[in-house]
Amino acid sequence: MENAKDITEYKFSDIIASPSIKERFEKVRKYFFLRESTYDMSNRCNLRCEGCYYYAGETEKQFAEENLNPADWQQLMEAEKERGITFVVLAGAEPSYVPELCKTCYDTIPLGCIASNGLMPLAKEIDYRIHISVWGNDKTSLEIRKAKNMLVRQMENYQGDSRAIWVYTFTPVNIDQAREVTETLAANNHQITFNMFSAPTDYNGHLRHTPQTLAHTRAVMSELLAEFPETVVFSPYNIVAHTHEQGLHSLFSCSYPRMNPSTAIGLGRSFRQYRTDLQWDRAAACCVPDTDCDDCRHYAAGSAVVTARMYRHATTPQHFSAWLDYVDTYLAVWVKGYDKGENLCKEMIEPPEQS
């Protein structure tokens, strides 16, 4: 006979009996209502970055025609709201080319985020979180993104703007430049979070991580989190989840439609990735389409994939604390006005085994 103590060391009620855990759980569960979908806003971009997801793959999203009619976008957003979507992610190729469409989305669904390269500022009336991409220092940005003085121009555009957070994508060639970028952002009172380069399908270039670069990244992330706690929005468990030799799907079972056939509940039911022609395809629907799923360590994917595994982490106070840190980080990165708390789990612990 299987004994309850064999199943788990702790009851859930034991775990949340800790006041700090209980308080954090109550804080984050207020946001369990968030239901996400993503939207390509424009098929244009003022950069051509190596390894770009938007222009990768054969799913032809980059060839979809732009629908620039605000009335069509409003109709889409109203339909999305009707089916329960409460959070929108406006992305590819560069949403700041179509600010009027971003405003239309904001007016209908006021919680969301825009992924931008930050070179064309978005009007403050579009009050979404804005994720500004950084791929290294300005020398590396020039090489990979073909743009000069990116960080200076991004900071000028978003100085004093509480919508903005910089997303530093670690590639094998920019790991040590993260310190320079973090120091610059800290000196200018900006915030930064971390992303990992995840290879697009069929990509075999020099930006694909190796076990050595993953370990190196882990060490640098850890140093920066410790040294810049007011600037770096991350947690030890985020570091583990995104620099592990196993990718997110292997560790946590990806819940996005490409890897999750269920349409009954959760992301498999609600998530859609719309292209610029306002069409979507379940077979391609993923937070970052055309990513090699086995190599996926993307911060946006993790925000949903790790978060969805609450049950699996509710086995010890330490694991549940680590999970709460991850969710607290995710909300601070994605939801404007959400303040991140102090991390509850200071150690870098291994993710729990799959059930």
Partner 1 sequence: MTTDTHQAITRIAEIIINELKLEDVTPETFDADLDLVDEIGIDSMDLATIALVLRDEYGIRIDEDDYPKLTTVRIIAEYITTKLAEKE
CB of 198 to partner 1, least distance (A): 23
Residue closer to partner 1 (CB basis): 148 or 282: 282
Among 208, 269, 336, 346, binds partner 1 (CB under 8 A): 269
CB 221 within 8 A of CB 239: yes
Among 17, 20, 32, 69, binds partner 1 (CB under 8 A): 32
Distance CA 138, CA 234 (A): 23
CB of 251 to partner 1, least distance (A): 14
Contacts (Cβ under 8 Å, ≥6 apart) of 313? 319, 320, 322, 323, 352
Among 153, 179, 216, 312, binds partner 1 (CB under 8 A): 312
Q: Is 282 in the site for partner 1 (CB under 8 A)?
A: no
Q: Is 1 in the site for partner 1 (CB under 8 A)?
A: yes
Q: Is 8 in the site for partner 1 (CB under 8 A)?
A: yes
CB of 13 to partner 1, least distance (A): 5
Task: Write out the H or E segment, with its range, that includes residue 37.
Answer: strand 36-40
Beta strands in 49-145 (DSSP E): 87-91, 112-116, 129-134
Part in contact with partner 1 (CB under 8 A); list of ranges 8-16, 72-80, 203-211, 242-250: 8-16
CB of 278 to partner 1, least distance (A): 25
Q: Is 283 in the site for partner 1 (CB under 8 A)?
A: no
Q: DSSP assignment of 277-346, as one string? A: TS-B-TTT--SSTTB-GGG---HHHHHHHTGGGHHHHTTSHHHHHHHHHHHHHHHHHHSTTPPP---S--
User: At what angle are helices 317-334 and 236-243 packed, to 10 degrees?
Assistant: 90
Among 103, 309, 319, 340, binds partner 1 (CB under 8 A): 309
Count of beta carbons in the 10 Å neighbourhood of residue 332 = 21
Contacts (Cβ under 8 Å, ≥6 apart) of 5? none
Part in contact with partner 1 (CB under 8 A); list of ranges 128-136, 145-153, 157-165, 303-311: 303-311
Residue closer to partner 1 (CB basis): 120 or 308: 308
Q: Is 71 in the site for partner 1 (CB under 8 A)?
A: no
Query: What SS3 state is found at 24?
Result: helix
> What is the contact surface with partner 1 in residues (CB under 8 A)?
1-2, 4, 7-8, 11-13, 29, 32, 35, 84, 253, 255, 262, 264-267, 269-270, 307-312, 314, 355
